[in-house]
Amino acid sequence: MDASQMTEADAALLRARLHIRGGRRRFQRGMWADGIVSLYDALQHAMRWYVSLPEHRARLGMTGGEDLGDDRAVWRILVHGGVLDHSFDFDEFEALVGQAVGEGSFQCDADAVMRQIEKAMTALEVMPFDEAALPREKPGAL
C-alpha cells in the first residue's frame, strides 16, 4: 500500500475501517479502553470522510464555512442532514471515551457499543467492507 498515492478522503476512509477492525479485535481481547478509543477514532474519520465528498457536501447543504475539525459540529451536520439519527448518542459515546481514558479499570458492554458503531458506520457508508481488502494486521499491533 502506497499511502502517498491516497487522497485525504481515501486515507480517512481506510483509517476508519482499520480502526473499526482494531476496536473489534481489542474488545475480543478484553481491552475495553483501547477498543473504545479505536472506535472513537474510527467514527471521527468516518464522519470526516463522509463530509469530504463533494456529492455528500452538496446533499447536506454545506457551504464551506463549517468547522470540520469540531466532531460535534460534524455530527450535528450529519444528523441535521438525515444521514445519522439520534439512536447513537454521540454525547454518551464521548463520555464513555472520557471514562476509558481516565479510569484504570474501565469496562463496557462491547456488544452494545459495536452494534451502535456498526449502525452509524453503515449510515456513513463505511460499512460493510471486506476485511480481507484491508492491509494485514502487523503481529503484535495490539
Q: For 67-122, what is each residue's pLDDT tens digit?
A: 888 999 999 999 999 999 988 889 999 999 999 988 767 788 899 999 999 999 99
Whether residue 138 lies inside any domain: the answer is no
Whether residue 16 lies inside any domain: the answer is yes
Whether residue 24 lies inside any domain: the answer is yes
CA distances from 66 to 72, 77, 131, 135 (A): 11, 9, 32, 32
Whether residue 64 lies inside any domain: the answer is yes
Whether residue 2 lies inside any domain: the answer is no
> Does residue 33 contact residue 101 with C-beta atoms inside 8 Å?
yes
Q: Work out how many domains the chain is built from and give that number.
A: 1
- pLDDT band at residue 2, thresholds of 50, 70 and 90? low
Higher pLDDT, 142 or 96: 96
Whether residue 125 lies inside any domain: the answer is yes
Whether residue 47 lies inside any domain: the answer is yes
- Assess whether pLDDT exceeds 70 at residue 141: no
> Could you list the residue range(s) of the whole structural domain that residue 39 is in?
8-132
Sign, Cα dihedral of 15, 17, 19, 21: negative
Whether residue 141 lies inside any domain: the answer is no
